[in-house]
Structure 1
Amino acid sequence: MSNAPLLEVENLSKSYGGVQAVSGVTFSLMPGEMLALIGPNGAGKSTCFNMVGGQIPSNEGRVRIFGRDVAGLSPRQIWRLGVGRTFQVAQVFKSMTVRENVEAVFASHQAGWGLLARAGKAHRAEAEAVLDLIGMADFADRPCADMAYGDVKRLELAMALANDPKLLLMDEPAAGMAPMERIELMALTARIAKERQIGVLFTEHDMDVVFAHADRIMVLNRGQLIAEGEPEAVRNDPQVRAVYLGEGLVYDQAAAAGKASVR
């Protein structure tokens, strides 16, 4: 790994009226690292995540991406810096084929949406290379409307990789997928992240995914970071165990095969 963080978040805070959604959150993310942001419902995960991605502004604090302060930048401007993004509910063009979806991202990044109609086909080879990377080359001509949701999620990952990002933001990537599909998607993401030295920040409720694939875990509760570290240390943290229903995170050696859980 490089010694320079891809993402630096410093004292990030957000309030809505009298409600403090996020308070003083600080962390960094290195190239090739899988960093999970977890916590109970209402902990502030989505707010924190969307401040990093530019969807909502912070009240205080700073976000630096590749060393640049991104305050005031739109999500699209942040994307164009080299930041990929996936969503809890997959965002694809259902009226297009798999290949056309990826071509659209290449065209938008290089030519802008105004030239999409005539620029899309120029990126056929690039789109097919990305689909091959994630194992969807055989799906290239399939209409998205006819695909299973797990395959739609994989396509969304391909679209997020189309602008050759060095930072990837994934909001609940396993949501709505079958258990084995979740494991396969995140194993694929982790492999690509290591090979291409992409830093991955992801939020996730599924502890199978978190403990099997995260290099580090951050735990939010009531807007504040209560724990941060390697998976085993976080699992044994007393505050974390108390937050998760008083019983904690149950994890053993089977986690690598997707057996971890929250009880």
Structure 2
Amino acid sequence: MTDALLNVENLSKSYQGVKAVQGVSLNVAPGELLAMIGPNGAGKSSCFNMLNGQIRPDSGRIRICGKDTTGFSPERISRLGVGRTFQVAETFLSMTVRENVQLAIQSATLSALLPLAFFGNLGRNFQIKADELLDLIGLKEQAERSCRELPYGDIKRLELAIALAGDPKLLLMDEPAAGMATKERMLLMQLTSRIAKQRQLAVLFTEHDMDIVFEHADRIIVLNRGQLIAEGSPAQVRANENVQAIYLGSGILYKQEH
């Protein structure tokens, strides 16, 4: 896909002879939500962490926004326009909601290289942009609130704002709905989808909740034992015999039938 923001070709990784990822290729276009699914041990985490620069692939190529990023560090990849969220959301609990976003904006603009005294001015620095991001995710009225007072669903939304602080073109989300109640999960993914379409942001996410996957993904790729075994629309993946065989008896492929 020539206009893809993320292009991955024949990515492979082994650990002491065990092939965790074998020749995986994928792409994500602007405004698209691509879900990566598979049973435990399928290679999702290894694949995801290679894209983010946390581990180096044995072979294959990763291109982000047209640039070969294979083997780049997470920091270097982030500065190319890549945002990241994690299974367990992390914020500075002693800071306010707004201060967390301001700090993320500061870091994204390389202001983190300034003297530590600069941190004392967070009340003024980047406040307008921070409030715009908080308004985008529906937390502007909570801007002065301490993060330690927020319910977990709001923390996950705040993490999304932090990931957007550097105006990324690509967003990598590792199990974004983990730890959230069902309604909160759906609302978070609805919000993510809306932002992706509005900003033409490419989103790749892993997820165990198949309701989330089949409801919100534009396309799905399925890994099993390190190999890509299926890809396509939610309807195509649901009907794929290989996928059905993997999830045989679980019922998870049919929970969202309409």
For the residues of structure 1 that align with 2:184 and 2:27, how far apart are their CA atoms?
29
Unaligned runs of 5+ in 2: none
Taking structure 1 as the reference length, the TM-score comes to 0.93
Displacement of 1:246 after TM fit? Answer: 4.3
**Alignment match, 2:40:** 41
**Alignment match, 1:250:** 254
- For 1:127, give the aligned amino acid: A
Indicate if the aligned counterparts of 2:214 and 2:256 stay in contact, CA closer than 8 A.
no
- For 1:143, give the aligned amino acid: S
For the residues of structure 2 that align with 1:118 and 1:162, how far apart are their CA atoms?
19
Displacement of 1:247 after TM fit? Answer: 5.2
Matches within 5 A, 1:208-223: 208-223=211-226
Displacement of 1:206 after TM fit? Answer: 0.3
In the superposition, relative to structure 1, how do residues 134 and 210 fare at CA in structure 2: closer, same or farther (>3 Å)? Answer: same
Indicate if the aligned counterparts of 1:86 and 1:170 stay in contact, CA closer than 8 A.
yes
Indicate if the aligned counterparts of 1:107 and 1:119 stay in contact, CA closer than 8 A.
no
**Alignment match, 2:180:** 177
Q: Aligned-pair RMSD on alpha carbons?
A: 1.4
Per-residue CA distance 1:130-165 (angstroms, 9 max, x = gap): 000111101101111111111100000000011111
Per-residue CA distance 1:6-65 (angstroms, 9 max, x = gap): 000000000000110000000111000000000001111010001001111000101000
For the residues of structure 2 that align with 1:247 and 1:95, how far apart are their CA atoms?
42
For the residues of structure 2 that align with 1:211 and 1:230, how far apart are their CA atoms?
9
For the residues of structure 2 that align with 1:188 and 1:147, how far apart are their CA atoms?
18
For the residues of structure 2 that align with 1:246 and 1:223, how far apart are their CA atoms?
22
Indicate if the aligned counterparts of 2:211 and 2:256 stay in contact, CA closer than 8 A.
no
Correspondent of 1:131 among 122, 131, 134: 134
1:23 equivalent in alignment to 2:26: no
Indicate if the aligned counterparts of 1:6 and 1:28 stay in contact, CA closer than 8 A.
yes
1:153 equivalent in alignment to 2:156: yes
Displacement of 1:229 after TM fit? Answer: 0.3
Unaligned runs of 5+ in 1: 255-263
For the residues of structure 2 that align with 1:247 and 1:93, how far apart are their CA atoms?
39
Displacement of 1:118 after TM fit? Answer: 4.7
In the superposition, relative to structure 1, how do residues 3 and 195 fare at CA in structure 2: closer, same or farther (>3 Å)? Answer: farther
- For 2:32, give the aligned amino acid: E
Q: Matched residue pairs, number? A: 253
Displacement of 1:92 after TM fit? Answer: 1.2
Taking structure 2 as the reference length, the TM-score comes to 0.94
